[in-house]
Chain A
């Protein structure tokens, strides 16, 4: 099983600032990496797939990068609606596995 590790667990950011979230895989998953946003009491929603392709309707303020074992999600300028938990997930091998999440909170 591929273990996904996200860091930091919590990121405190002021609105308008940028944020970079990290995700590491225990072994290479190529570019088969997705990012999801989850707001309180809601289901996750897809942001990025293929490590860097934005899902439909996702603004360009979100960007994904990386391949192999190291990945990042960058939010260029945080808006109020961007404060949430972000999960990475690999789909290179079964079982599909998620990281523990990074909570982006208002500083």
Chain B
């Protein structure tokens, strides 16, 4: 059974870069069957998809965040990571990593989620 676990600093200063890593067990980030994704949820609010990466290294980002987001893959550690630059208070959220099924070439539903990493933005 696949498990995903986020890790990263819980506190980031405004204008700095938020970095969160997802460690995958029970599956391989090199699997051609899935996309590896990031989703966030500000406290008390709804869910927002951030972006995803495929084992080939190809990525797709939410246009609302595209200029600030980078998602990368480390197959040797079976991990993928999120970097979000120039953070503001609006970026404070629980950041989830999740696995999404790949159907033909399209991203499908999120079938497994990490427990989430709370990130606070404050000086």
The interface on chain B, measured as residues whose beta carbon lies within 8 A of the other chain's beta carbons, has a size of 21
| B110 x A34 contact (CB < 8 A) | yes
Say how far B104's CB is from chain A's closest CB, in angstroms. 12
Instruction: Kindly provide the distance from the CB of A88 to the nearest chain B CB, expressed in whole angstroms.
Output: 10
Residues 61-100 of A contacting B (Cβ, < 8 Å): 87, 89, 91, 94-100
Give the complex CA separation of A106 and B7 in angstroms.
34
Tell which of B47, B62, B63 touches A89, judged by Cβ atoms closer than 8 Å.
Answer: B47
Tell me the minimal C-beta distance from B54 to chain A in angstroms: 13
Pair B110/A94 contact, Cβ less than 8 Å: no
Give the interface SS of chain B, mostly helix, strand, loop or mixed.
strand
Nearest CB on A from B115, distance (A)? 6
A-side contacts of B60, CB under 8 Å: 94
Residue A45 lies at the interface, judged by CB distance under 8 Å to chain B? yes
Cβ contact of B46, chosen from A42, A43, A46, A101, cutoff 8 A: A101
Report the nearest A residue to B61, measured CB to CB: A95
User: Which of A45, A46, A50 gathers most chain B CB within 10 Å?
Assistant: A46
> What range describes how many residues of A lie at the interface?
20 to 34
Closest to B6 in A: A43
Would A96 and B115 be within 8 Å (CB), given that A44-B47, A87-B46, A87-B47 are in contact?
no
Interface string of B95-114 (1 = CB under 8 A from A): 01000100000111111111
Q: Which residues of B contact A101 (CB under 8 A)?
A: 46
Q: Which residues of A contact B62 (CB under 8 A)?
A: 94-95
When the two chains form their complex, are residues B108 and A91 in contact, meaning their CB atoms are under 8 A apart?
Answer: yes
Given contacts A95-B63, A95-B64, contact A55 B46 (CB under 8 A): no
CA distance A50 to B106 in the complex (A): 13
* Beta-carbon contact of B115 and A98 below 8 Å: no
Chain B residues near A (Cβ < 8 Å): 46-49, 60, 62-64, 96, 100, 106-116
